[in-house]
Amino acid sequence: MSLTIPPTMRLYAMADRFVWGSFDDSPIVLKALEQSTGPLLELGCGTGRALEVPLKKGYNVIGIDHSKDMLAVAKERFKTYNNLRLLLGDVTQMQYPGFGTVAMLLNTYSVFTDAQVRLDILKRVAVSMNDSGNAVFILKNDNEAGRKSSTREEVSEIEAGKKLHYQGAAEYDPRTGIRTLRLKFRFGDENEHHIIPTILFSVEQFAREAALAGLVVSELYGDFDLSPYHREQSPWQIYLLTHQK
């Protein structure tokens, strides 16, 4: 079971590039790369939000994504870099050994609601890591704030006189543990709607899933600035995983 790919993600890709750029994954990615010395494999790289800093620092990078629209933006954005390969593919089927760091960022893991699919992904991540390698996962924190329904609206000027209108809503169902994202985009005459079910994980649940794939949590942070994790206060769970000894 893999993700259903929407027929178009052009406006979603615009938002990933221009609206959600404030999510800075680079501190944890660089920390992981400094420990492993690279190279970096990012699963679900999108438009490359997290790739710019590692590329500028000279790390070799491979980014995989299921969306042609997302990769088209990334290819244009990083066309001058010769230390990057961008691949169209399904992260549930990938198998690329020999990486120092494997990353699945900004809640990407949470969109896989099937437990067996998640275990397969974690096992593939473990195989992709070299013996001294590590993995980075970023998940929305499972606390009162994370479970609360929320809405967000933004307007961003993408081109002169043309604005991207974005509306996002999140609803949590305590019976299923599913947090559903409903995203709407409008750019000129174009419209896109996406409905994305996601899972909220406790730290203990994610650690158990990682352990089934032979991985252990070596470091845990609560926000992109690598501040300490607090169950009820942190907006994120930011993990660094290593092989079990």
List alpha helices for the chain, DSSP H: 10-18, 26-36, 52-56, 68-77, 115-128, 144-147, 203-212
Domain of residue 194, residue span: 144-198
> What is the structure's pLDDT at 4?
54
Residue 4 in any domain: the answer is no
As for how many domains the chain has, the answer is: 2
Indicate whether 80 and 191 sit together in one domain: no
Indicate whether 91 and 163 sit together in one domain: no
> What is the structure's pLDDT at 17?
86
Find the Cα–Cα–Cα–Cα dihedral 30, 203, 140, 63, rounded to 10°. 40
Using 50 as the pLDDT threshold, list the residues of the chain that sit under it: 1-2
Indicate whether 94 and 214 sit together in one domain: yes
Indicate whether 99 and 189 sit together in one domain: no
> What is the structure's pLDDT at 6?
64
Q: What is the pTM of this model?
A: 0.93
> What is the structure's pLDDT at 2?
46
